[in-house]
Amino acid sequence: MTILFDLDGTLIDSTEAILESFETALHTFGEIAFDEHKIKAEVGHPLDVMFRTLGVQEENIWAHVDAYKACYRTIACEKTTLLPYAADAVRLASEHAVLGIVTTKTATYSKEILEDMGIMRYFNVLIGREDVTHPKPHPEPVRKALSLLHADTTRSWMVGDTPMDIESAHRAKIACVAVTCGYGQEDVLRKSTPYMAKNALEAVKFIVES
C-alpha cells in the first residue's frame, strides 16, 4: 500500500509563517494591500498563482515570490507546527504503507521543516513545486510520487485538505481522503470525494481498515 500526504493543513500548520512571508513580500513592493483572509483562502496553490489571484501585476509576480521565499526560509521551522494527531498518523501509516509527500511548497524547505519535526525519516519521497512542471491540481505531482515509489494505483491513497489535492489524486487514478482540519471548506470537499476525516490520523485509520 502507498499513502501520499499533502503538507499544509494536512500534517503541518505553517499559517503564521505563510502570512508573515506574504505580508513582507506585499509590503516590500506596496502594490497590493495585505489581506489575511484572501491569502488563507488560496493556501494550497503555488505561490505565483496566489500572488496573481491577489492582484499582483504579471511582470511583478516572480519578484514577489522571491521576496516571500527570502522571508519564509528564515522563519519556516520556528513558526511551523505539526497539526494535532499528525505525528501519530504518520507513524501508524508507516506500519502499513510506503509513504510520500506531495506539496506545492518548495521541496527544500519542506524537507527542512519535516527534519526539524523528526518525521522526515518516515517518507520515501517528497515531491515539491520545483520537482514538477505542473503542480496540483494537475496529476503530475501525484503520478511522479507513485512512479518513484513503484506504487500500485489500486492500493494507493492521497490524504489532503483542499480540492486541489482531491483533483490531483483522482486524475492520477487514486482515491483521496479529505481532511477537514485544514484550509478547504468541508461542503466543497464533500462534493469532490466520498471519503472524509477530521484529521490525518482518522484518515489513516480509515485507509488501513478499508
Active site residues: 6
Please tell me whether the peptide bond between 163 and the residue prior to it is cis, using omega within 30 degrees of 0.
no
Q: Strand, coil or helix: what is 30?
A: coil
The DSSP code for 136 is T
CB 123 within 8 A of CB 97: no
CB 182 within 8 A of CB 161: yes
Residue in this structure with the C-alpha cell 516590500, named with its chain if needed? 28
Q: Which of 130, 85, 140, 92 is closest to 110 using CA atoms?
A: 130
Q: Is the dihedral of CA 200, 42, 187, 14 positive or negative?
A: positive
Q: Strand, coil or helix: what is 47?
A: helix
CB 162 within 8 A of CB 152: no
Three cell numbers written together for 4: 501520499
